[in-house]
Each structure stands twice: as C-alpha cells, then as structure tokens.
Amino acid sequence: MALFDRNRWHHHSEIAKKELANILLMVMEDNDMEEINFCPIDDLNAIGKTRLRTALTQIRKILKKDWKVASYFKVLKL
C-alpha cells in the first residue's frame, strides 16, 4: 500500500471544499450578507467544529487554487 493515495486525498479534498462552502454560505445567509471576509485560520477553526479534520495548507489550496479567492493584502497591494 502506498503512503500517499492520490484518490483518497482527492476525495478528502472534495469533502473539505463542500464543508467549507456550506459553512461560509450558512454564515452569509444567517447574517444576511452579500460578501464575507475571513482568513484561512477562521475556516480551519470552523471546519474543526465538524466531524471533518483537515490542514491549514489544504484550506489555503482550496481558497487560492480551486476557488481563486484573492488575498486581502494582495487586493490592497501592500
């Protein structure tokens, strides 16, 4: 058995994406918000309260590479 199973990692990543999307959408709907500002550690803490366990690096990858979310500091060009 390989130490790194690409299919298992991809499946876990898809579950993390769905859970994160659900959390963010729930917060936006509950607070009647059009947009939301957050940092990856906020997402990690929110996901940590569910049954799902993930890493901060995985959350950053989802935000930057998969969802193309711009960093606040990059938007401000600091």
Which domain covers residue 36, as residue numbers? 6-76
3-state secondary structure 28-56: HHHCCCCCCCCCHHHHHHHHHCCCCCCCH
> In the numeric block, which tokens belong to residue 64?
């930057």
pLDDT digit string, tens, across residues 11-20: 788 999 999 9
pTM over 0.85: no
For residue 30, being part of any structural domain is answered with yes
pLDDT digit string, tens, across residues 31-45: 999 988 888 999 999
For residue 1, being part of any structural domain is answered with no
For the chain, percent of residues with pLDDT exceeding 70: 81
Q: Residues in the chain, how many?
A: 78
Return all residues near 15 (Cβ < 8 A) that are at least 6 apart: 52
For residue 34, being part of any structural domain is answered with yes
Give residue 24's pLDDT.
Answer: 94
